[in-house]
Structure 1
Amino acid sequence: MTDGPQGGPARNVVLVHGAYADGSSWSDVIPLLHRAGLTVTAVQNPLTSLSDDVAATRRALDRQDGATVLVGHSWAGTVITEAGDHPSVTALVYVAARAPDAGEDFTALAAQFPTPPANAGLVHNDGYAQLSESAFLEDFAGGVGEARARALYAVQGPIADDLFKARTTTAAWRDKPCYYSISRQDRTTAPELEQFLAERMNATTIEVDSSHLAMVTHPEAIADLIIMATHGTRSPAPNSTAR
């Protein structure tokens, strides 16, 4: 078991959303974590810079009472990699997420893997970028019901044009227990890249037969992985599959 600062399993979870999203992307997972007796906080990232997103996440971590599992989806993997050195954090959970090493050029790393279709749908305007409606619905939110996907599109957070150029100064995954959910049907981040990242951090890994938004299409699998992290357990076995 991974003990927190005060011993025992973590009772708090901080969820960090990725690019093109907001905290409502976790709304299907949150009730499941509440049912498990966990205190849950969803960060609202400004998506204006890595430092701004890390600051928002650290403020949420500062408000936690004791041991906390820090969870990041997509771009937020970069955020939790930087903010995860917070003393309250006992484990990191990555959901189809980036996980750069300290100082690593993640764009260059990602270029070594297949280019995901969603990249072609990025629309730039006045220093910010968003996914086009078609790219969001077909690539980012594939497999999500139409009404829900359109609601998620409506709350899509614009990102700063240079957001993905930022580099972390630390890699918390090198020092904290890690858990990773690979989205096998991902059209926003290459599943091959996700597999590489999970293996590099020696994460307890599950594979979910989902698009990029596994926490929407497979909330039970993601909640179960987070609950495992709160207890510091390493089962089910790595590379288990959720359908």
Structure 2
Amino acid sequence: MSIDGIMAVLVHGAWADESSWSKALKLIQSNGIKAVTIKLPLSSLGDDTAALDKVLEQVAGPVVLVGHAYAGAVIASTQSTKVQALVYIAALAPDEGETVADVFYRYEHDDKAPKLAPDSDGWIWLPVEAFGTAFAQHATPQEQQALAKAQRPISPACITVPVGQPLWKRIPAWYLIAEQDHMIPERTQRFMAERMRAHISAHPVDHLPSVTAPELVAAVIVDAVKQSKN
């Protein structure tokens, strides 16, 4: 049985898919919380928000939305009144009028950050080697290979469009800062988390703690759900 009927909806970011949540999902559910993952097309911020809204329409009760990386912009773009709280896992949180790219490049990246550019078809892929050096350096080699094989590219239309008023200005937010993240600098994450006045936890984890530190991710989500029941 779920806690007071609140459901956690887990939203993947760029270069990942629903499987990136599998470890954390089991831990969340073991705490008596109903949780699901959704798939984003990653074709535009509007398309992704529409995909999320379609799922939320099918949910009967209140929801806590969880976003990783780019999905932070998606979960804050919905206008669904079912959403009680937002959880950011090393996620991007542009303010009104900003783009995802604006906050992604707010502060300088370190030398392990990969070079990103659209391919001939207009999609941005993560270089395969980056899964082991910047995206999930704490994962096992087997996990890194699986992540690279399952990666889903993102369109520039996701990251170059200014967002409207984000939902985090109206409801509570939680933020897990990944201190060893080579994709989104820790300084950038802390800036966004403090700007939204989130409940902040910081840990020496990589960009994909749902795979490499699922217990920490689950703990933040469980806390958000339990506090939202009031």
> Under a length normalisation based on structure 2, what TM-score does the superposition of the two structures give?
0.92
Alpha-carbon deviations, 1:27-50, whole Å to 9, x = none? 010111111112211110000000
1:42 aligns with 2:46: no
Shift of the alpha carbon at 1:122? Answer: 4.8
**Which of the residues 39, 46, 50 maps onto 1:51?**
46
**Could you say what the CA RMSD is over the residues aligned between the two structures, in angstroms?**
1.6
SS at match of 1:114: coil
Alpha-carbon deviations, 1:188-218, whole Å to 9, x = none? 0011000001100111111121110011111
Shift of the alpha carbon at 1:103? Answer: 1.6
Consecutive unaligned residues in structure 1, runs of 5 or more? 1-7, 234-243
Number of equivalent positions: 225
Shift of the alpha carbon at 1:114? Answer: 1.8
Say which is worse superposed, 186-195 or 109-118, in terms of deviation: 109-118
Alpha-carbon deviations, 1:127-186, whole Å to 9, x = none? 111011111221111110110111111110011133210221121000010000000000
Higher strand share: 1
Distance 1:55 1:162 in 2: 14
Consecutive unaligned residues in structure 2, runs of 5 or more? none
Match of 2:164 in 1: 169
Shift of the alpha carbon at 1:10? Answer: 5.2
Match of 2:101 in 1: 107
| 8 Å Cα contact 2:92/2:103 also seen in 1 | no
Match of 1:152 in 2: 147
Shift of the alpha carbon at 1:121? Answer: 5.1
| 8 Å Cα contact 1:66/1:88 also seen in 2 | yes
Match of 2:89 in 1: 95
Distance 1:127 1:24 in 2: 25
Distance 2:224 2:151 in 1: 28
**Which of the residues 14, 18, 22 maps onto 2:13?**
18
| 8 Å Cα contact 1:121/1:134 also seen in 2 | no
| 8 Å Cα contact 1:10/1:69 also seen in 2 | no
SS at match of 1:31: helix
SS at match of 2:32: coil
Query: Structure 2: which amino acid aligns with 1:63?
Result: Q
Shift of the alpha carbon at 1:105? Answer: 3.5
Shift of the alpha carbon at 1:104? Answer: 1.4
Alpha-carbon deviations, 1:43-69, whole Å to 9, x = none? 100000001111111111112121110
Match of 2:203 in 1: 208
Match of 1:223 in 2: 218
Identity %: 35
